[in-house]
Amino acid sequence: MDFAGARKWMVDGQLRPNKVTDPRILSAMSDLPRHRFVPPAQAPRAHADEDVPLGGGRVMIQPMMQARLMQLAQIRAEEQVLLLGAGSGYGAALAARLGARVTAVESAPALLALARDALAGLSVAPGSIRLIEGNAARGHAEGAPYDLILIEGQVPEIPPLLVEQLAEGGRVVAVQRRPGEAGAAVLGRRLGGSFSLTEAFDCGTAPLPDFQPQPGFVF
């Protein structure tokens, strides 16, 4: 399969017509070998206009949605970014290409193995990506504070524990869907000791298991 041609079609046919205007994102997604970040059987679908299954109910986010979330995040060079629900590592690679120093947390060992294989030999700055096995909903306090926390999946809320790991002026970008409501991309900011959250655009993707409420005991 012509993966370079598929990436060009993805950028020109999906990203540009859907309000993705940041030239850095367009360039990075034109260059990154997206097909390496999915199981081999899914490689032909890697550039399709849809979430790509990774197994176990997890997905690699639809290209257009991934690009718009990255654009909403407005990543700047040398920012400390905490990426949660890192999956197969594509979002981490994209953030690193935008100049960030990325700590990527993922709880599924199989996805971490896929991410390590995909990132091996990739052209990113040495040391710009750290892969951590852990519960994404708890973040990674050891590396705090972060300029940006990017959650790669749908969550019902932003846990206060994560807000505490933000630097003053830091941002959170996620896909949030509360019970009974439609999903939306949200942008949160920590300023003056308070945290505010605004909706940016409608969207939805697969829920992240780490963030889902645990069932209580029934007597």
How many domains are there within the chain?
Answer: 1
Q: Is residue 20 part of a domain?
A: yes
Tracing tokens 């994404």 back to the chain, one arrives at: 136
Q: Is residue 128 part of a domain?
A: yes
Buried b (16+ CB within 10 A) or exposed e, 138-175: ebbeeebbbbbbbbbbbbeebbeebbebbeeebbbbbb
Q: What is the pLDDT of residues 55-69, one digit of tens each?
A: 999 999 999 999 999
Q: Is residue 216 part of a domain?
A: no
Q: Is residue 180 part of a domain?
A: yes
Q: Is residue 219 part of a domain?
A: no
Distance CA 190, CA 102 (A): 19
Domain that holds residue 13: 3-210
Percent of the chain with pLDDT over 70: 98
Q: What is the pLDDT of residues 20-75, one digit of tens each?
A: 999 999 999 999 999 999 999 999 999 999 999 999 999 999 999 999 999 999 99
Note the pLDDT of residue 180. 82
